[in-house]
Structure 1
Amino acid sequence: MESEQELRPYLFAIAYRMLGSVADAEDVVQEAFLRFHAADVEVESPKAYLATVTTRLAIDELRSARHRREVYPGQWLPEPLVEDEQVRHAETADSLSMTFLHLLEKLSPVERAVFLLREVFDYEYDEVARIVGKSEANCRQILARAHAHIREGRRRFDVSREEREEVAQRFLAAWEEGDTAALVEWLAPDATVYGDGGGNAPSVPVPLVGSGRVAKALIGWGGKARDRGFTHRSTDVNGEPGVVFYDPDGRATWVAALEIADGVVVAVRSVLNPDKLTHVPPSGA
């Protein structure tokens, strides 16, 4: 039987993909273990039991969170995972990307659970049906709807990890040099910046669209950060190329993930809300 220490990363993987929040995912996993230990029944498969409880708790949490996100100041983005151990596995990295998690926001809580259990965690339909309390036929319909919603948000073909990294290096070099023309070359014409300040940090209230506008904004923001003594480094953010900015005390204050396709950056998802960055290790950690 797998130990609690071995099961926690797996349950966190489910909860985080459902909720897009590190703290909420950890709370859900903790509650699942509390219910498991309090259960006055013999459990044949702790992993199956805990995965079921985790998913159901996450569905409930997401239902209440959806209202909070509707009234959230500005744009809501998932909490970033910076060089997290769980995103170093190629077979799961794509389903952890900020791009993918952003797309999942189009789905209802049950659609999200069915999609993740079936497509990411490879559960059979009968298992998915048992977990979400629906019939197998209903789950197949739910999955079809979820696929349709996801396809609507996919605009371009994905590229290899090697190509993503090369594009990211050239893009970040142009950004660091403050070269607007060079930066525009590595941006899609309709490149978009999404910013999540949560009302606690300056950010764009609505998506900023257009390569020229995006390039000028990024260079302006980067220059202001450097003038204030901030440092930065390129890193993986949810398995995508990205960058983290640190204040003079070493605290992460800005995490940006780059969505790259067709050889250019098509979106920059920036999280600046300090409440969403408390789990990001400080510089030099």
Structure 2
Amino acid sequence: MSPKLVLVETAGPLNVGSVARLCRSYAINDLRLVAPRCDPLGEEARLMAVKGLPLLQRATVFPTLAAALADCGRVVAASGRPEGEPLPLEDPEDALAWLLAGERALPSALVFGREDRGLSNDELLQAGRLLQIPTPTPHGSLNLSHAVAVVLHDLHRVEHRALAQGQPPAPPAPPAAAVADPCPRGVIEAMLADATELLLEVGFLLPHTTAARMAKLRALLQRAQVSGPEVALLRGMVCQLRWASRRPFPSSQDH
């Protein structure tokens, strides 16, 4: 199952159209737009999309990144900032291999931020891994659609190599009804317990908002009110805590 591709507050219609064209070329079937700052179906975007126009027309618009990731398991976000990240930056190959190794029953996602300022720390914390495209100069910020092209090329290469080494391909996505509730209450409780233990171990290394968010999620769970966006935030926090503690990510049998 190919990952979802998520663009956050894209301002350039040419970029939106170019990304739709890239998605078609690399067999990405789900384009999600978070609060776009342009008309994603305007003339410029449509002209750039070329044969990716049907995908662009099917693109789903979400009000927030958390809403766009509510049904996703593993999430990788791209960042062009050289420092100050809430999670360690990884080479694309390592981050994408982790993305492809996720639980097959849940969708995964690739997230790209705004052209002018990328993703905020709060948005980056919703990802399990951060990747950065290496460049030979210190002025290595790429145009949004160029960055998407590089990452999708690397994703195709990593997936092709995995298949060549005998790893089975991902099965087709289950019907929508089968993933309508991808995170049962018991799994949420297990993630909260896991995050609580990890926070006691390495919480001092992380932003104070992590503990505050966990307290809010626990209160919501007690009232049986945890929604899809909140589940996505919890998944991101567990990934973040595991990174800080250097514990391996659990297999699909664990969670």
Q: What is the TM-score with the length of structure 1 in the denominator?
A: 0.29
Higher relative contact order (CA 8 A, sep 6+): 2
Query: Which has the greater radius of gyration?
Result: 1
Q: What is the TM-score with the length of structure 2 in the denominator?
A: 0.31
**Structure having the larger proportion of residues in helix:** 1
